[in-house]
């Protein structure tokens, strides 16, 4: 399909922040798009303010992008928030061929595959850690690298190498010393992290025999240290040759770094492939939200409620066959893909956004949808669930076979941002929906693809990653 284009002039010269003054759709502001939307007590929200103007921004990966003729070199774009939300008008397009990014754009680097937002140097501007899992280091192929871009009043301008490896990163103060740390699947890089990307020290994360499929960071027990919830698997098979499916586990933050804690609702969280944290029931304790997109019946979203005594023993599981949830659970729907958490209604309860990219919709195979599940005093339920697709009234675009709409999700201030990385034969696309007191609305929603952002198009997979 062709995304509705915002009529933006393409800048003729390279500037730090590409901006436009042409007409653009107005997104109704939900009233919580200032710095209050960046509250650190909401770790499930993809919050960032790279230019320090008080409006939340969104970083969007396009790891398949062709740069200087090199397919799959990858790039990412930052869409800066304004009074109308992150609507695509003010933006940057960044690759390893621009802004002095370390390294060289090479085929298969997939720069922009993973994005982690945090103020690593404590200067008040959010910084961004960018993963390029296909990066070659010397003669070694596909070693991978993480690069940190430092926030400033002009946006993301300067950069340094933050480390090597193919793993995604997450940020938090795991040792409680007041400096943010970077955590990967294999090590912890303790802050303060210098402007050259060098940590104060490093240490292991968990036993090397543990395979980590996903990770979320937040202060679960309120002790001032960041804890981690991981999807834990194994590199080794059982005696019958099968590898046990992953389960969620808590890693406590301690003065000496992460320490292994208990499994979390082990009977319900098996094969969890997406994790977020947030206070769904507004009781002051973080809850674990997870997706099991490959679960029988088309996939599930689960919530393990946090209490003063720790996490509940069982999770609440919700799928398309749960009473009140629109649709019908079918094999391959992938309900629960890439869950994200944040208060989009302004009522104090964190809400859950879940992709359903395999949904057959409007007569189209794998066109995709996404769902918003409202938080409440009693947690999540099948009531008050909203589902949107590209044929929903007011949503830009048209549903087509294989779009995989809802493939990635994020909550950015009072807005829900979703993507379809397979849109337009893999060019990708992003949609922004404003929140209201009664839920999100398609009225005033906007969409943009690589062409709109003056970025490489063919196979870019724009929206393959949002910041976490």
**For residues 137-145, average pLDDT:** 93
Q: Are 66 and 458 in contact (CB under 8 A)?
A: yes
CB burial of 54-84 (b: ≥16 within 10 Å; e: otherwise) equals ebbbbbbbbbbbbbeebebbbbbbbbbbbeb
Between the CA atoms of 132, 252, 211 and 268, what dihedral angle is there, to the nearest 10 degrees?
A: -110
Residue that wins the pLDDT comparison between 85 and 229: 229
**How far is C-alpha 15 from the geometric centre of its chain's CA atoms?**
27
**pLDDT tens, residue by residue, 288-347:** 999 999 999 999 999 999 999 899 999 999 999 999 999 899 999 999 999 999 999 999
Specify whether the backbone of 133 is left (phi greater than 0), alpha (psi in -120 to 50) or beta: alpha
CA-to-CA separations, 61 to 190, 192, 275, 330, 358, in angstroms, rounded = 25, 26, 19, 29, 21
Query: What is the structure's pLDDT at 99?
Result: 82
pTM of the entire structure?
0.88
Q: Are 56 and 37 in contact (CB under 8 A)?
A: yes
Neighbours of 262 (CB within 10 A): 12
Stated as kind and residue range, the H or E segment containing 432 is: strand 430-436
460 within 8 A of 450, measured Cβ to Cβ: yes
Q: Is the pLDDT of residue 43 over 70?
A: no
Residues 188-211 have a mean pLDDT of 89
pLDDT-based confidence at residue 22 (cuts at 50, 70, 90)? very low
């Amino acid at each position: 399909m062709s995304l509705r284009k915002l009529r933006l002039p393409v800048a003729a010269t390279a500037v730090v922040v590409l901006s436009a003054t042409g007409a653009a759709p107005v997104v109704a502001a939900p009233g919580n798009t200032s710095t209050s939307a960046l509250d650190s007590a909401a770790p499930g929200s993809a919050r960032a303010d790279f230019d320090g103007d008080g409006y939340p921004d969104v970083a969007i990966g396009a790891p398949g992008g062709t740069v200087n003729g090199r397919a799959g070199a990858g790039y990412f774009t930052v869409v800066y928030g304004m009074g109308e939300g992150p609507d695509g008008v003010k933006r940057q397009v960044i690759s390893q061929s621009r802004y002095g990014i370390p390294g060289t754009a090479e085929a298969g680097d997939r720069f922009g595959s993973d994005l982690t937002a945090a103020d690593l140097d404590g200067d008040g501007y959010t910084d961004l850690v960018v993963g390029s899992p296909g990066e070659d280091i010397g003669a070694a192929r596909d070693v991978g690298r993480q690069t940190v871009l430092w926030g400033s009043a002009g946006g993301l301008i300067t950069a340094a190498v933050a480390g090597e490896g193919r793993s995604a990163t997450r940020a938090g103060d795991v040792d409680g010393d007041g400096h943010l740390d970077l955590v990967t699947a294999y090590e912890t890089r303790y802050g303060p992290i210098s402007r050259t990307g060098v940590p104060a020290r490093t240490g292991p994360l968990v036993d090397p025999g543990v395979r980590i499929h996903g990770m979320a960071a937040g202060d679960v027990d309120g002790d001032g240290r960041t804890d981690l919830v991981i999807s834990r698997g194994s590199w080794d098979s059982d005696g019958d040759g099968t590898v046990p499916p992953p389960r969620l586990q808590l890693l406590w933050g301690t003065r000496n770094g992460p320490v292994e804690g208990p499994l979390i609702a082990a009977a319900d969280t098996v094969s969890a492939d997406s994790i977020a944290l947030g206070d769904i029931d507004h009781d002051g304790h973080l809850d674990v939200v997870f997706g099991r997109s490959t679960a029988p019946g088309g996939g599930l979203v689960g919530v393990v409620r946090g209490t003063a005594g720790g996490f509940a023993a069982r999770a609440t599981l919700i799928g398309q066959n749960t009473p009140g949830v629109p649709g019908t659970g079918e094999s391959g729907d992938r309900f629960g893909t890439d869950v994200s958490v944040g208060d989009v209604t302004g009522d104090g309860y964190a809400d859950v956004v879940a992709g359903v990219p395999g949904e057959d919709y409007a007569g189209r195979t794998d066109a995709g949808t996404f769902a918003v599940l409202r938080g409440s005093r009693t947690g999540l339920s099948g009531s008050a669930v909203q589902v949107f697709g590209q044929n929903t009234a007011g949503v830009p675009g048209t549903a087509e076979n294989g779009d995989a709409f809802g493939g990635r999700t994020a909550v950015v201030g009072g807005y829900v941002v979703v993507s379809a990385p397979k849109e337009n034969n893999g060019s990708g696309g992003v949609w922004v929906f404003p929140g209201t007191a009664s839920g999100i609305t398609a009225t005033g929603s906007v969409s943009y693809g690589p062409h709109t952002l003056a970025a490489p198009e063919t196979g870019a997979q724009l929206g393959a990653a949002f910041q976490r």
